[in-house]
Amino acid sequence: MDSCQPKGNTKEWIQTYEGRKLDLLDLDSLIITIEEIAHVLSMKCRFNGHCQSFYSIAEHSIHISDLCPNNCREWGLLHDASEAYLPDLQTPLKRLPEFEWFVKLEKELLLRIAKHFYLPPTIPGRVKELDTYMLHVEKNQLMKPMQDPRDEWGSSVMHPSFVEKPIAKGLQLLTPHQAKRKFKARAKELSLS
């Protein structure tokens, strides 16, 4: 875990939703539960809150899981599970060398989540593709147009044939309570709880 530590060795920790102490630089103390993941992801908004309506990471994850083929639905639901314990660092920042330690920490956390739920050690490529697809769908439905059209992104949504089945009910903009309940129900369907 030393490779994930930023400069300076701290013994700082956070309190988790279920009342446990977690040292993010010593993941041996981590106790993973669907209850905690569902709660935290249902309280966090996509796009770091810059969308027009509240839309949780939990609802996003449910949609990814629904779109996934049978062999990767579990990873579809849990692909953002590290965000139950870490902030959702935006992609442009993750690409900077200064945040390499954070990316390593996130990968280590996802590996522990995978082991806990008996999943393959890496997120399948299809899940990543569907995550990108949903990013564009969500952007088009939740974000205002760019003030300067030359800066527009995500306007060319992938061809509908990219997904085997469209999102049945579209984005529902669930409340945190609804999203948590649906996330937990989906986890139970997938034998993750």
**Which band of pLDDT confidence, cut at 50, 70 and 90, is reported for residue 136?**
confident
> Residue 15 in 3-state DSSP?
strand
CB 46 within 8 A of CB 63: no
What's the rounded Cα separation, in Å, for the pair 129 and 113? Answer: 20
Please enumerate in sequence order all residues whose Cβ is within 8 A of that of 143, keeping only pairs 6 or more positions apart, or say none.
47, 50, 51, 52
In the chain, the number of structural domains is 1
SS (H, E, C) 175-191: CHHHHHHHHHHHHHHCC
CB 27 within 8 A of CB 112: yes
Whether residue 193 contacts residue 184, with contact meaning beta carbons closer than 8 Å, is answered with yes
Query: Per residue in 48-102, pLDDT tens?
Result: 999 999 999 999 999 999 999 999 999 999 999 999 999 989 888 999 999 999 9
Q: What is the pLDDT of residue 193?
A: 77
pLDDT at 157: 45
Higher pLDDT, residue 158 or 135: 135
Q: What is the CATH number of the domain that holds 82?
A: 1.10.3210.10
Q: What is the pTM of this model?
A: 0.87
| Domain range for 6 | 2-144+153-189
